[in-house]
Amino acid sequence: MDNLVNLRGRKSNENKIVQTLVVLLQNTTWRCGRLERSIVQHLYRRHVTFRSPSATIKELMVNLNITAEKKEEYLDALKRLEKRNIIKTMPLQTPTI
């Protein structure tokens, strides 16, 4: 949760948000909104088909057709899901040579 809170609203950290990994911890959407359900559904479908319950924030935004106007709502949905321990966000580590 700290990753999203620290990165929100800053243009210089836009690249860091894109390089954040979202991992599905629980497949539950009880008391979730429509956007939260679509995020959990997408991660669960990835888990079933590719055996990987994770995706980057950028990939989720592209696949769920999130526009620039809905970006804040999308980040709030991720924050709520992380607060309820349904997903976990962590920075994507790039390999160093």
Tens of pLDDT, residue by residue over 4-35, are 555 555 555 666 666 899 999 999 999 999 99
In terms of pTM, does the model score above 0.85?
A: no
Q: What are residue 20's phi and psi, to 5 degrees?
A: -100, 135
pLDDT at 50: 81
Query: CB under 8 Å to 73, separation ≥6 — which residues?
Result: 35
Distance of alpha carbon 63 from alpha carbon 51, whole angstroms: 18
CA-based Rg of the chain, rounded to a whole angstrom? 13
Q: What percent of the chain has pLDDT over 90?
A: 60
Q: Among all chains, which residue has been given the structure tokens 């497949």?
A: 27
